[in-house]
Chain A
Amino acid sequence: MSTYTENIQQIAQRLLKECRVEMVIGFRKGSMPLMNEPCVITQPEAVNQLVWDSNCGINLTHYLTNRKEKIGIVAKGCDSRNIVTHITENKIQREQLVIIGVPCLGMIDRRKINAMVEGDIQSVSETDDAVTVATRNGEQTFAKMDVLQQNCAVCVHRNPVIHDEMVADPVPEQNGVDQYADVAAIEAMTPDARWRFFDELLAPCIRCYACRNACPLCYCPTCFVDESKPQWVGKSQDPMDVRTFHFLRAYHCAGRCTDCGACERACPVGINMRLLTKKLNKDCLDLYGWEAGLSPDARPALDVYKANDPEDFIK
């Protein structure tokens, strides 16, 4: 992965110099360790800002919505699937894009690391399979496998599904991972236990909507949660309002979510709201054989009717 940064910079420079794009969207070092930030590069001289490491978990597709320019965009596996979804939903045209594909080995979950080290993290370095963090008290090294975001640990689409350039050869896809073990565990509970489980899961939610804002699927000019005429969902901290918000947010992502993890990553109180979107992903796969964003030519599961669509829920 050490060559990724250099290759991204070279590709970006070439695209900008040849005027094939007006801007390149990628990552630069963040002001805090473990948090790189999105950046837009418009000058070939500025490409040395671009970086790549395992702290690029934000989904850059978000910045493509309704853009009119020609854009180069750095995309890992999940991002590329969200780009496909954007193309399918007419939020960007394929011709506008030069997709710089990044074969991905997973992103680091900063919360896992923070929980294991004492004191503030001052710097971070990584190799292909290890992460070393330095604090005032010294250095600690972790196997990267142990500190991956949960969605990355079970990811089966690490290589970009569409790309015009690639920064490296494809990485092997993970076989035999149980993608939906967490959802299956909830399905196995009684309705009472499930109700309590989500009560507890969602109790800390402060309704900041960071999860919605981080998600590339949430691009409506006015979100249902912000509307007041009509008011679709109560705006209070009442557990029922919170639950209704989460239920509807998840449902708006049905058949579109790529489990990129941007929502969970953004949550200031660490709620795993992916347990709702993942349930819908699992249902889409089980019922319709559908996974979001794999091909710009396929129509989404909730967009097509097939004579053999399951209808057991209708009496």
Chain B
Amino acid sequence: MKNLLEHMGIEPDRLHFSWISSAESTKFVSVVREITAKVKALGPNERFVKKEAKVA
């Protein structure tokens, strides 16, 4: 799914997957830190966003 979204032009750093056990608190913190940094670097998402409903 990530591959197809990126194929359509979603930035590779926009979507992240992780598997974290409830016991892995340090991993959770570091993954969230990493994701936030990457997404912040990309700026606000403009893609797959509906601007406003078009009225026919």
Residues of A within 8 A of B (CB): 183, 186-187, 191-198, 234, 236-238, 240-241, 243-244, 247, 250-251, 254, 276, 279-280, 283, 313-315
Closest 9 CB pairs of A and B: A195-B9, A194-B9, A315-B18, A240-B50, A279-B7, A314-B17, A191-B11, A198-B8, A191-B9
- Asked if B48 contacts A314 (CB within 8 A), the reply is no
- Asked if A236 contacts B4 (CB within 8 A), the reply is no
**Contacts of B10 on A, CB cut-off 8 Å?**
191, 195
Q: How far is B7's CA from A194's CA once the two chains are assembled, in angstroms?
A: 7
A-contact 0/1 string along B8-26, CB 8 Å cutoff: 1111100011110000000
Residues of B within 8 A of A (CB): 1-12, 16-19, 31, 34, 47-51, 53-54
User: Of all chain B residues, which has the CB nearest A283?
Assistant: B3
Q: How far is B7's CA from A247's CA once the two chains are assembled, in angstroms?
A: 10
- Asked if A276 contacts B7 (CB within 8 A), the reply is yes
- Asked if B4 contacts A276 (CB within 8 A), the reply is yes
Which of B6, B31, B51 touches A191 (beta carbons < 8 Å)? Answer: B6
Q: A234-B50, A254-B4 are in contact. List 17 more A-B contacts (CB 8 A).
A: A191-B9, A191-B11, A192-B9, A197-B9, A236-B54, A238-B54, A240-B49, A247-B4, A251-B4, A276-B8, A279-B3, A279-B4, A279-B7, A280-B4, A314-B17, A314-B19, A315-B16
**Contacts of A192 on B, CB cut-off 8 Å?**
9
Among B4, B10, B53, B54: residue with most chain A CB under 10 A: B4
State the Cβ distance, A284 to closest chain B Cβ, in Å: 10
**Contacts of A238 on B, CB cut-off 8 Å?**
50, 53-54
Summed over the interface, the residue pairs from A and B with CB atoms below 8 Å come to a total of: 66
State the Cβ distance, A23 to closest chain B Cβ, in Å: 38
Interface of A is mostly: helix
Q: How far is B10's CA from A269's CA once the two chains are assembled, in angstroms?
A: 25
User: Of all chain B residues, which has the CB nearest A193?
Assistant: B9
User: Of all chain A residues, which has the CB nearest B17?
Assistant: A314
30 pairs, A vs B, C-beta closer than 8 Å: A183-B7, A187-B7, A191-B6, A191-B10, A191-B11, A191-B12, A192-B9, A195-B9, A195-B47, A196-B9, A234-B50, A236-B53, A236-B54, A238-B53, A240-B48, A240-B51, A241-B50, A243-B8, A243-B48, A247-B4, A250-B4, A276-B7, A276-B8, A279-B3, A279-B7, A280-B3, A283-B3, A313-B2, A314-B19, A315-B17
State the Cβ distance, B15 to closest chain A Cβ, in Å: 9
State the Cβ distance, B41 to closest chain A Cβ, in Å: 14
State the Cβ distance, B44 to closest chain A Cβ, in Å: 15
**Contacts of B50 on A, CB cut-off 8 Å?**
234, 238, 240-241
- Asked if A251 contacts B18 (CB within 8 A), the reply is no
**Contacts of B8 on A, CB cut-off 8 Å?**
194-195, 198, 243, 247, 276
User: Of all chain B residues, which has the CB nearest A189?
Assistant: B9
Q: How far is B46's CA from A192's CA once the two chains are assembled, in angstroms?
A: 11
**Contacts of B31 on A, CB cut-off 8 Å?**
315
- Asked if A251 contacts B9 (CB within 8 A), the reply is no
**Contacts of A276 on B, CB cut-off 8 Å?**
4, 7-8
State the Cβ distance, B16 to closest chain A Cβ, in Å: 6
**Contacts of A187 on B, CB cut-off 8 Å?**
7
User: Of all chain B residues, which has the CB nearest A287?
Assistant: B3
Q: How far is B4's CA from A243's CA once the two chains are assembled, in angstroms?
A: 12
Q: How far is B3's CA from A191's CA once the two chains are assembled, in angstroms?
A: 12
